[in-house]
Structures are given as C-alpha cells and as structure tokens.
A and B are shown apart, each in its own frame.
Chain A
Amino acid sequence: MSTKTNSPITNLLDGLSNGARYLRDKFEAFEGDRLGQIGLLILATFIFIGIFARPITIEFLNITIPGIAPYDPNERAVGGRLEPPSSAHLLGTTHLGRDVFSQLIAGTRVTLIVGSLAAFMAVFIGTNVGLVSAYFGGWVDDVLMRITDIAYSVPFLPFAIVMVAIIGSSIVNIIVAIVLILWRSTARVIRSQVLSHKQRPYVESAEAIGASHIRIMYLHILPNVLPLAFLYAAFAVGWAVIAEASLSFLGFGDPAMLSWGEMIFNVYTADAIREAWWWVFPPGIAIMLFVMSVFFIGRTLEKVVNPELRHKE
C-alpha cells in the first residue's frame, strides 16, 4: 500500500497548486486596467525597496548586498538638527539629526511585514471560520457566527490600545491585535459564498463518490471560493497598514521597529510638525501610496469575483 503517494498532504498541495493555477489564469483581469497596473507597479516598487532597504549579508556566499538607505536610520547626528532637504540628506533630518530618507526606506519593511502577515493570518482564520461554519451549519454555524458578531462589535482602536498596553507593544502583538479584528469580514463573506457552493451538484457528486467532509471542504469548495479570499486579502493588507500606522501614531508602536506611523508620531512629539514638512509628508504620502496600490489591485481582483463589473465602464 503506497499511502505516501496518496496522503492528504500531497492531495492538499495538489489542490492548492490547482487553485494557484486558477488564480493565475484570472490575473488576465489586469490586462487593460490602468489603475490595477499602476497598483501592481507601486506595490512592486515598495516590495523591492522593502527587501533591499538595509544591507543584506549572505554568510555562506560571503557577499553583502548594499542597502538602498544611505544612512543607518537610527543613528543620531548624521546631519544637523532639523535640516531641510539637501543633496546629502534628500529628505532632510530629524530633531536628533537622523536621516529622514533612510527612515522612510527602512519603514517600508515594517509596513510590508505588518501588511502581509496580518492580512494573511486574518484571511486564513476568516476563510477557515467561514468555510467550517457554512459547511457544517447547525450549531457549529451558530457558535462561529456569534463569535464573529462579537468580533464585529469590538471597536478596533480601543481594543488594540488596551491589548498592546497589557501584553506589550511589539510588532508581533500589534499584528495579533490587527488580526483579531480583521478576520471577521472575511469569515462572513466566505461563509455566504460557501453556503451557495455547498448546494451545487458537484458537492453532492463528491459526497456520492465517498469523499470525506474535510476533502470536500478543502479540495472542492475552497478552490472555488479562493478568488474571493484573495480579494479580501488584498483589502486586508490596506487595512492592516492603516491600523498599524494609527497605532504607531498614537505611540503604541514597536519602539525597535521604525514604521511610517511612528515617524509621524516622532514628528508630533518633537513638536516639529509645523516646521519640518520634509519629515511629515514623506511617511504620510508613503502610507497613502501603499494603501492606494493595494486597493487598486483589490479593485481589479473584484472584477474576477464579480463579473458584472467587467462590462461597466
């Protein structure tokens, strides 16, 4: 008996790769959609900057890829205090003489980490909750959906502030706080989609064939609702970044990881917000551009999920 070739894991991987292929087919939605293309371009730029922000040393190859940031963002007095932009400091300096441009570049990494991790986890939880809830129905559905309702009733900022105040403000805790709030919308939308899919004949066929519940849920229904989960992931990235910026601006950010939100917080606490425009605008514009790019992408992905949008111009 060679269960190795037929294990649930290989099957799941097979299923996921099929789903990925399906998604790739759907990427043609970006063709001829200017906003979506711009979104992809901006996002790609941010990802590139994020990866190469700081020098990367690959030990076993003994090479160091130089970082994009010209200075160490945390080093003080690389320039004078509150210097306006110059050729040495493209975006001026902070009140402690740190280089704003370097801070902006380094902040990209934090934004990417928070955005992608929080969105992935939130959509992962939300998709599973929605899938299980809709598929099994009955009391399982009731319990899971009441929990979702409770999550819906919690206001984000007070919740996140209290949580971060209690368990400490590290980047992980911030992500957890965001995820705990963000999964709810995905759960509801996926649930409604699964409710419709589980009535379709192919699910009954799978049942007649002898497929187990897990198999039907994850191999048959999930790939069918994956585009929707993908759409919600794109939007979740945007929300997560805004949420992180809000928290950081309020002073609950991770002190060890400088994010865009925290930069604005620093300007504010340094009382320089009125004069140091070169310190205020770059992080603000960066947040705006990043969130805008993911929403553009999300908007294009929405056409995949909702074909009605394709023909309206």
Chain B
Amino acid sequence: MSLLEITDLKTYYRANGGWVRATDGVSLSVDRGETVGLVGESGSGKTTLAKSIIRLFPKNAEIIDGSINYDGTEITELTDRQLRKQIRWSEISMIPQNAMNGFDPVYTVGSQIVEVIRYHEDGTSKKEARKRARELFNELGIEPDRIDDYPHQFSGGMAQRAMIALALCLSPNIILADEPTTALDVVIQDRILETIKEKQREIDSAMIMITHDMSVVSETCDRIAVVYGGRVVEIADAETIIMNPRHPYTLGLRNAFPDISDEDKDLISIPGTPPDLVDPEEGCRFAPRCPFATEECWEVTPEAEDYGDGHMVECHRADEVEYLQEEAAKKETWMEQKIGQPDETTPEVTSDD
C-alpha cells in the first residue's frame, strides 16, 4: 500500500450558482520517498489537487467525493482539529510558491520556525528548537545567525531556503512543493532544487512537486502526472513522459519547452485557453484544443487506460501513438487546427485568395 492514496477525488469551488470542477475525479498514489511531479497550465487544477491533500482551500471549496488515504488515515473524514494536530506540517508540509510572503512580516524568521516546532512538539524547549533551527539554516546554506532577521531582510533565494527549513523542521513524510522555484532566477533555481532533493533523501520523505516547468520535473521527479482541466490526463515515470508520451496534451506541452540539444527546434505553443471548468459537458476536456479530436472525443469522456508500467493515459486515440508523436512534432498541426467544436463552425470553405 502506498503512503498516500488518492482515489477519484473531486474538489469543487462554488461560484455564481455553479460548481467549478477544479479537481474532477483524480486518482493518484505516492510511495514513500518518491517524488511525483504535477505538471500543467495555470488554472488546470494542479494546486487545488495538492492543497486538497491537507484540505487547505478557501471556504467556497469543498471535497465533493473521493478519498484521500494517508498511511491508513482517511483525511477527508478528519475534523479540522485532528487535521491541524495530526496531519498538517508534522506529516505533510508545504513549500509555498512565494516564500517572501509566506512568512509573517512582524516576526523574525527564526522565531517562526521555533514556534512551529514547539507548536507541534510538546515539551521541546525554546533553546532546543532554536538550536534545531540554527542547524537547519546551516545545512541549507544560510548563515545561522540570520535566524534573528525579519523576512524582509532576506533575499528571494534565502527566503526560499528559509521556507524549506520551515517545511523540513518536523521531518514530514510528504512535502508539497508548490512551484518552489518559480519566483527565482535560473541559477538559484537549480541550487534550491538540489537542496530540496538532498534534504528529501536525507529524511526519506515523499514529495509532490507542482510546476509548469517541464525542465524542473524532468530533473527532479520519479513520476510525472500531467494535469489538464481538473483531471490527470497522463501519468507515467518521468522518462516515459519526456521521451514517449501518448496524450496529445503532453505532446503539446513538450513542444512548448526549449530543448538545448536541438538548436533548430521551434517552440510551438498550444493554441486556445484552458477549459472553463464550470459544469463542463461530457467529452474529453482537451478536445477543443486538440488537433486530433474526433467525434468520439467530443461525446465520450475518455477513461484512463493502462499502457504498462503504470503508464495511464486518458485519450481515445492513445493507441495511435506513433502517428500522434509524428504529427505533434510539426508546427502546422497545431497552428492550422480550428479551436472549438466542429459542428459549430461552418464546413470548410476553400478560398482562392
């Protein structure tokens, strides 16, 4: 049994009388010590999925259905108090996107780390907690004396390191990293990622890495889940997703990132916008933007199919993998498709001029 087992999770937001289906029937499992990447566009529901795990969402969000099983504990059934005392931070911690604002500006960084340690561990003295905070700072490459500084005295990279220290101070089993390096420059990015990986190995915790950056996941993750329109459309080990994906969206996503080894390669973006998740209709969510969409794609929501080694794909045409990969690599395929439902547009009219 995996450490974390998410089954058919549905987290919806109430909005203007309808439901925004930010996470709509997602199943995902995370093993001990494993790193799973969640990749997708902004608004695809990857953050909602991750935050559902510790039920950290605004009041208008709700877990409608599904189960989140953490090491035998059903998280959806815990009371707020149990969740606070047993799960949050001590078992599952989080590295937020923007560390600078993640700290309360009126307290020193050190006192916030000390507070967290002492809040969750009864009987740890202030002195011990401080000592641990200093050690963590040292290991993460920050001058230990800086724990008495206020958050605004830190640089972006340092604040992010400090946030990592905060996330690791209780040696959690799972770390949710919500785009931990997006706010940083590339040089620092790499170092931070390395630091995270190193510490993660040390305390043997699992990690869920949320990002829209393919290069980040390919470097850090064991498995990658591609999220689109509130669903995991494709999941496999990192190499398969990078080298041999089957879902057209993954193919498109891969095109949109530069490849250093191939200088001539043009970047191709996926035209159109992420789908409106308010009460979506039947059918594949990606169909309006998919150059390979058939009638079936519009009418029937694809089921996840297993292609071996835990490679799950939600696509009706995933069997035609060679054709898809070949066509998807061409720019014309993406640029010349029509966005929207086929029967809404008039039949093709050829024009001489």
Say if the beta carbon of B173 comes within 8 Å of chain A: no
Name B126's contact: one of A5, A18, A202 (CB within 8 Å). A5
Residues on the B chain within 8 Å of A210, using CB = 83-85, 87-90, 119-120
Binds A, one of B102-110, B224-232, B251-259, B319-327: B102-110
Residues on the A chain within 8 Å of B119, using CB = 6, 209-211
Say if the beta carbon of A205 comes within 8 Å of chain B: yes
By the criterion CB–CB under 8 Å, are A201 and B96 in contact? yes
Residues on the B chain within 8 Å of A205, using CB = 94, 96, 102-104, 166
Q: Mark B52-63, 1 if CB is under 8 A from A, else 0.
A: 001010010000
A18-B106, A206-B104 are contacts. A201–B98 as well, Cβ < 8 Å?
yes
Number of chain A residues whose Cβ lies closer than 8 Å to a Cβ of chain B: 25
Q: Mark B102-132, 1 if CB is under 8 A from A, else 0.
A: 1111110001000010111011011000000
Say if the beta carbon of A212 comes within 8 Å of chain B: yes
Considering only CB atoms, which chain B residue lies closest to A199 in the complex? B58
Say if the beta carbon of B250 comes within 8 Å of chain A: no
Name A2's contact: one of B83, B97, B123 (CB within 8 Å). B123
A205-B102, A224-B105, A224-B106 are contacts. A5–B120 as well, Cβ < 8 Å?
no
Residues on the B chain within 8 Å of A22, using CB = 106
Residues on the A chain within 8 Å of B84, using CB = 210-212
Residues on the A chain within 8 Å of B93, using CB = 208-209
Q: Mark A206-241, 1 if CB is under 8 A from B, else 0.
A: 111111100000001001100000000000000000
Complex CA–CA separation, A283 to B104 (angstroms)? 47
Number of chain B residues whose Cβ lies closer than 8 Å to a Cβ of chain A: 33
Q: Would you call the interface of chain A mostly helix, strand, loop, or mixed? A: helix
Name A200's contact: one of B87, B101, B107, B126 (CB within 8 Å). B101
Residues on the B chain within 8 Å of A1, using CB = 122-123
Considering only CB atoms, which chain A residue lies closest to B54 in the complex? A208
Considering only CB atoms, which chain A residue lies closest to B163 in the complex? A205
- B residues with CB within 8 A of A: 54, 56, 59, 81, 83-85, 87-90, 93-94, 96-98, 101-107, 111, 116, 118-120, 122-123, 125-126, 166
Q: Which 5 A-B pairs have the closest CB atoms?
A: A210-B88, A201-B101, A210-B84, A223-B106, A205-B102
A-B pairs with beta carbons under 8 Å apart, 25 shown: A1-B122, A1-B123, A3-B122, A5-B125, A5-B126, A6-B118, A18-B107, A19-B106, A138-B59, A201-B96, A201-B98, A201-B102, A202-B102, A202-B105, A205-B102, A205-B103, A209-B89, A210-B83, A212-B81, A212-B84, A220-B104, A223-B104, A223-B106, A224-B105, A224-B106
